[in-house]
Amino acid sequence: MALLSGTFTFKKFKIIDELPGNFKETLVQNLPRHSFREISPQTNPELSIGWVNAFQPIDTRLTLEKALFGKYILLGLRRDKKNVAAALLRAQVSEAVRAQLRERRGKKLSREDVNTLRDTVREKMLAAVSPSTNFYEMVWNYETQEVYFSAQGGKAVDEFVELFEETFKLALEETNLASRTERYIEEKGLSLELIDIEPARFV
**Mean pLDDT to the nearest integer, 178-202:** 51
Q: Look at residue 182 and tell me whether its pLDDT is greater than 60.
A: no
* pLDDT band at residue 7 using 50, 70 and 90 as cut-offs: low
pLDDT of residue 196: 52
Query: Tens digits of per-residue pLDDT, 83-136?
Result: 888 999 899 999 988 888 888 777 888 888 888 889 888 888 888 888 999 999
pLDDT tier, 137 (very low <50, low <70, confident <90, very high otherwise): very high
In this structure, which CATH number among 3.30.310, 1.10.287, 3.40.1350, 3.40.50 belongs to the domain 2-38+46-82+134-196? 3.30.310
Measure the CA–CA gap between 32 and 137, rounded to whole angstroms.
17
The residue ranking higher by pLDDT, 56 or 5, is 56
Query: Residue 22 half-sphere exposure, CB side, CA atoms within 13 Å?
Result: 6
Q: What is the pLDDT confidence band of residue 184, given thresholds at 50, 70 and 90?
A: very low
* Domain extent listing, the chain: 2-38+46-82+134-196, 86-127
Mean pLDDT of 175-200: 53
The pTM score is: 0.74
Residue 2 reports pLDDT greater than 90:
no
CB-based burial of residue 159 (10 Å sphere; 0-12 exposed, 13-18 middle, 19+ buried)? middle
Measure the N-to-C terminal CA separation of the chain; round to a whole number of Å: 46
pLDDT score for 203: 46
